[in-house]
Amino acid sequence: MGQPRFGTDGIRGIANAELTPELALAVGRAAARVLDGHTFIVGRDTRRSGPLLQAAFCAGIASEGVDVVDVGVLTTPGVAFVSEVRGVPAGVLSASHNPFEDNGIKLFAAGGAKLATEVEAAVERELEAIICDPQRAPVRPTGARVGMISPDPSAVTHYREHLRRSLEGRRLEGLKVVIDCANGAASEIAPDTFESLGAEVTALSCRPDGCNVNDRCGSSHPGQLTRVVRELGADLGLAFDGDADRLVAVDHTGAVADGDVLLALFAGDLAAQGRLAGNAVVVTVMSNLGFRTAMTKRGITVREVPVGDRAVLETLESEGLVLGGEQSGHIVFRDLATTGDGILTGLAVADLVVRAGQPLAELCDGLIERVPQVLVNVAVGDPGRLDEAQEVWDTVAEIEAQLGGTGRVVLRPSGTEPVIRVMVEATDEAVARRAAGRLCSVVEETLGKAAGSLR
């Protein structure tokens, strides 16, 4: 992957190899300088490398004279919530849905929002300058002006109360829920929150050991969840990723409801209540064409943005909208949170099922008529060369011409992994698969096949 730098969701890489303590310390220094302020909130997920990298990151911040509040293991949206309430910047040590050997640093501006593009660029420029000259001005403070690092276990309690308040006093009695916490940051808070609201909870993958986060569990691997939901006759299954900023739901039959389905459910529910601001929902280019068709039939406008929850949030903010998200399960209720929140989304699903008095399967039945969509991650030697790979784009143009107006192609480098993401939609699945296979071959040939398989 090379030395990690900011992607669509912060800095990410193999802990202690690509994302080293030295780099984490430099990121802390750069963030303290650019984001400014007297205090910085820092949390982490459950990865083995978390305490190591958090110590270095916090040391970098404190070395610039900024106090650090360590909230311990807390979900990414939980850290963003604390940042919003206290009006100070924040950072999270997490690699989200990636394997445990990876880690990352996500930054939030004061108020809990993802960094604006220009602010992130300023942090990266300062980071590069610090790496090139660790002693560059300004001179670091000494004595009583050195930043303090202090724990604050109460942050988890405040975030849990915020989650419960999202139901506006409603309860979940009678609902039998299976929750897969991916052995991540939601392992304690998610089961406890649902139980406190009256749900009967069976918790899976909630015993993190530092090495089992996202390991054949969680939102990227819902097989275990679907099996247990069926075996127990549960009403609902909910799966989070390592830092619980995304959610995948499972109905009582074991069918998976991804971000597109959940967004369609929420959009319809909010519109019926007169609470869907602008009568619009924000999605990324990866959302299925079937979602757009479903929204059009219901008279709901779809705003399409580039991949990444930051793009979704920027549009929600600029247009005064309240609902947006990604097919992967990042869903933002902007009137309740500053970022995607898997637990909050799970509560919203459970609440909708209880209020409707219908199983999730019935609520989702016929909601979206999906266009066959093929998604492939192609591990390549140099994803950064995609823009200049003319042979690849010529192939994209040929495929789009063949599909006409009945399909589409999306090709982009991942912002979190060393891959090119290939997506092809067509009314015929076989056509989509052939087109995706052809495009993947051209991508590998042009950009160089990566050594080893995709992690």
pLDDT for residue 448: 78
Instruction: Tokens 């276990």: give the residue.
Output: 153
Q: Give the end of a domain, one of 302, 329, 364.
A: 364
Q: What is the percentage of the chain residues whose pLDDT exceeds 90?
A: 82
- Which phi and psi angles does 306 have, rounded to 5°? -65, 165
Over range 348-353, report the average pLDDT.
Answer: 98
Q: Is residue 315 part of a domain?
A: yes
> Residue 336 pLDDT more than 80?
yes
Domain extent for 59: 6-153
Over range 145-163, report the average pLDDT.
Answer: 97
What residues are annotated to the active site?
96
- pLDDT band at residue 93 using 50, 70 and 90 as cut-offs: very high
Residues 279 and 387 in one domain: no
- pLDDT band at residue 4 using 50, 70 and 90 as cut-offs: very low
Q: Is residue 283 part of a domain?
A: yes
Q: d(Cα 137, Cα 426) in Å, to the nearest integer?
A: 56
Q: Is residue 72 part of a domain?
A: yes
What is the overall mean pLDDT for the chain? 93
> Residue 418 pLDDT more than 90?
no
Over range 378-395, report the average pLDDT.
Answer: 88
- CB 366 within 8 Å of CB 298: no
Residues 127 and 107 in one domain: yes
Distance of CA 259 to the CA centre of its chain: 11
Q: Give the end of a domain, one of 153, 182, 208.
A: 153
Over range 74-85, report the average pLDDT.
Answer: 98
> Residue 455 pLDDT more than 50?
no
Q: d(Cα 13, Cα 20) in Å, to the nearest integer?
A: 9
Residues 145 and 218 in one domain: no
- pLDDT band at residue 450 using 50, 70 and 90 as cut-offs: low
Q: Is residue 48 part of a domain?
A: yes
Contacts 24+ apart (CB under 8 A), 163-167: 163/189, 163/193, 163/343, 163/344, 163/347, 164/193, 164/196, 164/197, 166/333, 166/336, 166/344, 166/347, 166/348, 167/197, 167/347, 167/351
pLDDT 10s digits, 98-142: 999 999 999 999 999 999 989 999 999 999 999 998 887 788 899
Q: Is residue 159 part of a domain?
A: no
Q: Which amino acid is at 326?
A: E
What is residue 297's DSSP assignment? H
- pLDDT band at residue 406 using 50, 70 and 90 as cut-offs: confident
Q: d(Cα 250, Cα 254) in Å, to the nearest integer?
A: 6
Q: Is residue 452 part of a domain?
A: no
pLDDT 10s digits, 293-321: 999 999 999 999 988 788 899 999 999 99
Residues 307 and 381 in one domain: no
Q: Give the end of a domain, one of 306, 335, 364.
A: 364
Residues 112 and 228 in one domain: no
Q: Is residue 320 part of a domain?
A: yes
Number of domains in the chain: 3
CA proximity to 332, closest of 309, 351, 352, 364: 309
What CATH number is attached to the domain comprising 144? 3.40.120.10
> Residue 2 pLDDT more than 70?
no
Higher pLDDT among residues 430 and 5, named by residue: 430
Over range 383-408, report the average pLDDT.
Answer: 89
